Structure 1
Amino acid sequence: MEHLSDTVDLNAYFQRIGYSGDCCATLQTLQAIHLCHTKAIAFENLTSLLKQPVCLNLKSLSRKLINERRGGYCFEQNLLLRSVLLALGFKVKNLAARVL
């Protein structure tokens, strides 16, 4: 269950990705947010290259990806997007994958 401190600032996120559409949990909304997110937030692994910890809590993710306008690892991006989708009322199933 999400806690109040685990909610994302939707307005800041939408501004960051350039999304101004509907906020209803529909397929059209999901497709539009997904497209905007991937266009606006790049894959980035500078944090680990600089030997800094990669923090996966929502506060850290929001600061890095939204406020600092940086990119992030797939885990960082997916956790941020997950929080956005949950806040909008989507049901989200967590999956993990790796390359062998």
Structure 2
Amino acid sequence: MNVEDLVFNTIEQNPQRFENLLTHLGYTKTHTLKKNLTTKEMCEQLGINYSSWKQSDVRNDIRIVRLRDTTVGRNHIYKSKDLDIIERIWKERKR
């Protein structure tokens, strides 16, 4: 058995341990499966209180507004690839 097979077998047997390892290494967005997220889903992914988001001025930051996709419907949709940018802006503005 080569190393690659060993690694993949270990991940299949205990995916939670692998996720914990990734989290420990700084890769916290391992469970982002959806490509497009509503505002509520985006807040859940980032650990932001939804009520705090709705009341804050950060949501109207021009950098955040540019990331929104409003063509889908009434709700604001955010791309999962933009979560790191949103999180950085949120932390920056909350300081």
Structure 1 length normalisation: TM-score?
0.24
Q: Which has the larger radius of gyration?
A: 2
Q: RCO higher in 1 or 2 (8 Å CA, sep ≥ 6)?
A: 1
* Structure with more helix by fraction: 2
